[in-house]
Amino acid sequence: MRAPHDPTFLLRRTLLLGAALLSAPAAGDVVHRTIALSGTPAGPGLVYDTFDHPTINHSGKVLFWARIAATTPASDECAGAIDIRAGGTFISTVGATDSTAPGCGLHSDAWFRYTSPGAESVRFGTTAMNFVPTLAVYRGDCNALVQEVCGAADTAPIALAAGEPVLLRLGYVTAPPAVSTGTCIVTVRPGPASPPPPPVTLSATDAALFSDRGAAGTFEMILREGAPTGFDPLLVHAALPLPAFNDAGTVGVTGGVLSWPPTPQPLSATFTNDSSGATVLIETEVLAPPPDLPDWFLPPPKLSASGEVAYARLDGAGLRYGAEAIASGTPAPGTPEGVNFLFFDQPVVAGGGLGAVAFRSSLDAESGVDDTNNSGLWSDFDGPGTLPPELIARTGSPAPGTPDGVVFARLAVEPGITPEGRLVFWASLTGPGIDTTNSSGIWTDRARTAGLLARAGNPAPLSMEGTVFQSFSKRPVINAARTVAALAYVSGPNVTAETNSGIWIYPLQGSAYGVAHEGAPATGLPEGIAFASFSDPVLNERGDIAFVARVRGRGVTPENNTALFLAGAGGVMTAIVRTGDAFAVSPTETRTVRDIDFGTLPPSSGRGQLNDSGTVVFRLSFTDGSSGLFAADRTCEADVNGDGAVNSQDFFDFLSLFFAGDSRADFNHSGAVTSQDFFDYLAAFFAGC
């Protein structure tokens, strides 16, 4: 009898199967896991309500923004009134119901109690945040309320005896519209006098950031609206927009903050919060004109792997990255003497190293600059503390790869960037022979000098004869291998409105090719379903590509016409989730998917939703009105070396483990490495993934 590890026996059996050691592109299994689900606990007395933009770093840690609600607010009825003190108190009515107490007709109301420390005259008022609150004021206790004020935003002075309690009822005077609850500040201050600036006290507020970056690996609230900032106890978080997140677990935020007394104009603060919870303030700014706090859209700062921060001031007057600062009015490198920076757009930062930085800026019109040449794109390849940034492209300057006289007309705001600072960017053209058929393209300096990669009017690789590019998305992406991915539109004699878009890949070495094309079969979905349109692709460092696509064809309806796809580095495409699917939110419950939200920012942005291991995070909304955040991995045990493809190298890697008796070759998990593991692996190998 032959030994189970006899290579002659095993290889003869392999040959009898009549198979060659080739890749086998079949669909891999997708494993989902739930990150957070609306209505489930978010902390003591709190549940998740809604979510936005989860972010995953290359360590597999996740950061997400969530609106939270009280399960039943302690202050929902008079008997549960929360004690407050003089000064300002952040108050939330999230989750509050209409009170059973009679009088004043307030809806979604919450109750608070102020007890006078001595005989005094006080005023009660509200500072609106994301709804317009009104107050009712009562003397007495909950069983014998005596209404003093009804429906005021700011009361007249009210005389109180020492130790006398006053009950405040905060709510909305008419039937609640869509946004009628949330956070505001209730103020208690001496009647006619101006108070000193006391600390802001806290009650429940309704937005927070959560992450599993800690050692325990469980999701914890790390920042919350209404909480004091870590850099100034007299400032509180008034708005937490979407953050940035790096591989070390550091969070970067440019968010609204509020001081006491409230400033005439809201403040913003750019700060970081590391995995230990330490917060470092980078800069505060006064915003003008003051926006409504809940509508603040403040772009997050960019973070390098080492935590270096890069951002442009919100007024565009300066740019900072690490210890470097560039101000409006200073010389713009690469331009003639006297040409200065004017307005900086938000920069991009590479994910690795010290954080190579690229940015677009307009130029001072008083220095020989006009509308034809007033914008440029710069890159600092080595990050802060090194050489000045280098001019990569400028409007009005010759566009490489085009005829004489053709110049750049416009440059995209955010280029793609590699860890070493090489760029890919969209631009439009003007000059002799330029019309709507050839007026845009994609350029890159990945070969260390800026060159044309693709241009409207030029043939589209691997397309039908006569097919040319018509236009491109303004957000091409590039990874560490300097592979470029871009969404593009085509035209030609055989192109229709149903076949005119696709996603193309340009490797550094080798020929360009298409990943997905409108009108082609939507791989991973049932036969007869074709791609209809695409989002911008996301490209990780391994070469995996994720995108959302609309589909059409057999059995497709408005309820099931969208899917999230992952194309592995080996070319295998998988449908991660599709609208209309029955999706398992837990081992015992499924819900029907209504919408898929997947961000198209690259992993290096600090807000990516695809990491280098090929894990995708996304938000789903369901037909029952609930929502949740989820992660997905494409599993394939036959991919032994984890490069995203199943090929001969995986076979030989498995054989090495098998003949060494390595436990990793226990393919069937029997507890022993036997010939059956070999045959089970062989079957998986030829099935592909």
Task: Write out pLDDT tens, residues 462-501.
Answer: 888 899 999 999 999 999 899 999 999 999 999 999 999 9
Residue 19 confidence (pLDDT) above 50: no
**Mean pLDDT (the chain, rounded):** 84
- Cβ distance 310 to 347 under 8 Å? yes
- Cβ distance 111 to 80 under 8 Å? yes
Nearest to 636 by CA among 688, 558, 567: 688
Q: Could you tell me the sign of the dihedral formed by the alpha carbons of 357, 360, 366, 368, in that order?
A: positive
What pLDDT is attached to residue 22? 36
Residue 59 confidence (pLDDT) above 70: yes
Nearest to 258 by CA among 193, 199, 170, 208: 199
What pLDDT is attached to residue 197? 43
What pLDDT is attached to residue 677? 82
What pLDDT is attached to residue 483? 94
398 pLDDT tier (thresholds 50, 70, 90): very high
The position carrying tokens 């009210």 is 158
646 pLDDT tier (thresholds 50, 70, 90): confident
What pLDDT is attached to residue 221? 94
What pLDDT is attached to residue 289? 44
**Per-residue pLDDT tens digits for 71-128:** 777 788 999 898 888 877 777 777 788 887 777 888 888 899 999 999 999 999 887 6
What pLDDT is attached to residue 575? 94
The residue-averaged pLDDT of 569-585 equals 88
- pTM of structure: 0.79
293 pLDDT tier (thresholds 50, 70, 90): very low
DSSP string, 562-607: EEEEEE-TTS-EEEEEETT-EEEEETTEEEEEEEEE-----GGGTT
The residue-averaged pLDDT of 495-515 equals 92
Task: Give the span between the Cα atoms of 341 and 109, in whole angstroms.
Answer: 51
Query: Prior bond to 289 cis, omega within 30?
Result: yes
Asked which of 54-63, 540-549, 597-606 is least confident by mean pLDDT, the reply is 597-606
What pLDDT is attached to residue 666? 73
Q: What is the CA radius of gyration of the chain?
A: 30
What pLDDT is attached to residue 68? 85
Residue 653 confidence (pLDDT) above 90: no
Q: Compute CA 293 distance to the chain's CA centroid, rounded to the nearest angstrom.
A: 20
Q: Ranked by mean pLDDT, which of 231-245, 313-327, 657-671 comes out on top?
A: 313-327
The residue-averaged pLDDT of 183-196 equals 70
Residue 552 confidence (pLDDT) above 50: yes
Phi first, then psi: what are they for 682, rounded to 5°?
-60, -40
The residue-averaged pLDDT of 10-26 equals 38
671 pLDDT tier (thresholds 50, 70, 90): low
Residue 588 confidence (pLDDT) above 90: yes
Residue 562 confidence (pLDDT) above 60: yes
